Structure 1
């Protein structure tokens, strides 16, 4: 026999659908506003926050109305306990008592689901006004001025190397992620004097020993260790290309290979928040 959904379950399902529809509408609104239009983007953030707040208030009111209607049944149960209802009503009340525990579990589940969805909605609104989102808008503006665009790269520890890999593929000189890591590590090993002074033990502040430096290079080659300016310097030498890092809040960093003039036309360009 098919289980009949309770009023709470139906309401929760309706609320999920309405939130999903709103998110689809918000995405359309975002796509309609150019990322470099700061004034309209600011208004968009306010409009989205207003829409989500209105939907949250609507859902709160509907849930309260449902809870108020349920309280009528609870009053009936209380009257039965003091003998104020007839035998027929007692039979109905007995049935309600048997199902009350299951109903409470469903109510609790629905309340938890509503709270979770509310937190998700609040987080999405905060993200739109948050510092990371604002930095993303600034970065997009800088890239648009240079007719560049953001490409999503997985933040899995390999992101810097994947970005370089992507740019090299664009230039018709592809190298794999594994190759880039191995060549970076090998260059650092063979030019230890250029890198060791910048690597220190975070606890003692002492410069890395030869063994510690070797382990560092092994991690560069064989693990998902994050890369930084030292690795970019090594990559620039390996590739014999300048590498430019565009930042949202700071001037660009251009790493130039030793013994060659910087050629901006052939510069490998990365960007970061």
Structure 2
């Protein structure tokens, strides 16, 4: 039993290591499938190990036993002859019934062999021991893992303090990049409608901008539409970096909650004439410039700067953008 339990603990540690690697390598699109696979692997290992423990203990599904069937003849007597009783006295602590060709000692041994253990009690004890072992393994794995979320938050906080920035939480719903931009465009007075000299807006985009009720709540709809229009109008600058047709790519930007990334940041900066500074989890600041720096005076340049905080580990859905404003 000790060897089996030791092997089980090793199998659990190995599986936990595999699960950790799978989750680290998961992306936004594969995360749900990876989680389902990990749950299935854990369940299969648990069932396999429980079956091996039951087999080792001799616990099998209950079946009718021969001892339960009445095969004894009416000639069975409670004791042997007097001579046999004197030479082989039965144990004083046990009352048994023997057949004509079975000694009391053999009857006692057979009774001991057919006595059934309390399987439910043993099963509960094994389950409790397995849960304790799994908890110990999980705690050991957790102690060895890097606290990515804590480290990211700590680095971000230091950068915010140094640059005198205040963080504004944005709902992590897939629209976070566009919502953060919409909020800052409105706060800076630039508005959600870009300069018509910079971009030709489609009628549907103009309608989206006109029907925004609040930049904070649904301003992302306008920014998404403007971003898609700019990419279509400057497709030669963006298509070489796409992994799917232009129409499908821009359709996702307009009508879904697809995450925004580097291409979308470039389109937003150029469409609205703003410079975007993105603070990374390791403290780096990525700058996306509009290319119009010489067109504005210093005061206007300061107004046309958007700050974003980009997180990779701190939110359950994965990558996330928050808005940042100067104190």
TM superposition score normalised by structure 2: 0.43
Q: Write 1 or 2 for the structure with the bigger share of helix.
A: 1
User: Please, what TM-score do these two structures have when normalized by structure 1?
Assistant: 0.50
Radius of gyration: which is bigger? 2
